[in-house]
Structure 1
Amino acid sequence: MANNQNDKSALLQQLKIHPSDKQEASGLKVWHLLVAMLLSAGLTYWLTLTLSGPVQAGQDNVQARKNAPRPAEEKAAEPKPAVRATDNQSILNSSGYITARRTATVSAEIMGLITQVNVEEGMQVTEGQVLAQLDNALASVSLELAHAQVKALIARKNAMQADLEEARRNNQRISSNDYSSEAERTRAMSQLQSLTASLESAEADILVARLEARRQQERLDDHTIRAPFGGVVTEKNAQPGEIVAPTSAGGGFTRTGICTIVDMESLEIEVDVNEAFIGRVFPGQKVDAHLDAYPDWTIPASVIAIIPTADRAKATVQVRIKLEESDPRILPDMGVKVAFQKT
């Protein structure tokens, strides 16, 4: 029993940590910590040198490129104003519109009911072509009556002509007979003169009747609406069943025009030039025109006239410009820019 206790005491003594052992272990831990810190500091310094080297080199290269003189050919060219490539340099630019000098809204000279319209927008028409037809029933009847009146008057004249010939023969016979009385001679002469006057009156009546027939024919022709000149129909303003009149008579079914025709050969340019620069423009001056719809297409043109009046509100003067060539792409009211040339 005593031996067992001695053994346990010996074991406990072996398990105890001696103070000197504690100090030795603590010293080792501090030493290991210092070594780790030194290694970490060295690694950080090495990484700093490694990474900062390329960055500094790059910055030096950039600064060197900035300070280095540039070759003359690498200098950026200064921007220059755009100049149109033309034979003659322009001295003035302006803008305006395409206008038609010859355009008409075709209407009727009389009021009537539209029975037929023969045009559509975009249709090409020639001078005298029938555009529309009005109801002409009454006008046709009036014309027939006028012709019948002329025929009746001509028949009456022919009868008077026969009576006059008979009166002349009778007067000649009475005048040649010695046994005819003075009263018979006077009566025969009076009859001859009366028939002569009646014949002249009949001829005048025939002339009046023929004039009336001509007037009725013109009224009938007024029911047929024709193109006053050749061109293109740009607007169709009426339909069959509507009433057309020379002037507005009120009502939603009354029209003052059948259609609008534009002569495409009469197209020209109208521009407003600032009055401060109007001295640079003169009749006959060459002009380059560019439509807004086709800016790369140069149209040759020339100044027709300078309108001798100024716009007080805009301080501009209107200039008419002739298009030297016609093209179906040029349309009325298109926007256009022009450049007036030196010569």
Structure 2
Amino acid sequence: EDLIERKLVSEQALENARTQVASLRAQLNSQRRTIDLAAAQLRSAQVQLDYTTVRAPFAGVIIAKAAQVGEIVSPLSAGGGFTRTGVGTIVDMDSLEIEVDVNESYINRVSPGAPAEAVLDAYQDWTIPARVIAIIPTADRGKATVKVRVGLEQKDPRILPDMGARVSFMEERSAAPASTAPPKGVLLPATAIVQREGRSVVFVIEGERANARAVVPGQSVGELRLVEGIANTTRVVREPPADMQDGARVTIK
């Protein structure tokens, strides 16, 4: 417009330039819409590609292949010989369990967390530590049994799915009763225990002498200290001076 005012270009040239700018802007917007559409198509294709991959819910080993190429897989069988309800069976080898039938007369002796031992039919001399995981809350009325899940606490490549096993349920070991015996030693004033040559000693009064006697200090009871190494009737110096040595002469007051 400045050029128009200065008579350097014609109004027709300005109009042509404006038309060209509008056309280019329209082309730019069209290309942007094309890019957005292509991106949406790419995302859709990626989703469709993901549908072709079957991902396991956990890491494990496939022990059975249930479907072949060309067969239909559906959560619920739609009928026909080419429909399968799964593609395979996967086993978590790090958390193998044993399901055992326990006679309902003995189920009251089994509890979750209780220790157990398992012996595989293939390895009769090998005892595997185990532990009760859970008791299935239902009974088989025909066999009068209750299913119990038992987890193996030892990993070994010899343990394979569907192996036969026998399980023995162990009794819980009760904690050792707390000791009720009184503490050993003699209660002395804490000030009577001093250090001499890197040892804890008390000065025992024997006649007119104070003889150093090594002791083993124990727990404190207020201003008293439990010590081992002297008899209950032994007389000691209550507050030995810092320079008192073994055999020092004392005066009893």
**In proportion to residue count, which structure has more strand?**
2
Point out which structure has higher relative CO (alpha carbons under 8 A, 6+ apart): 1
Normalising by structure 2, report the TM-score: 0.49
| Structure with the greater alpha carbon radius of gyration | 1
**In proportion to residue count, which structure has more helix?**
1
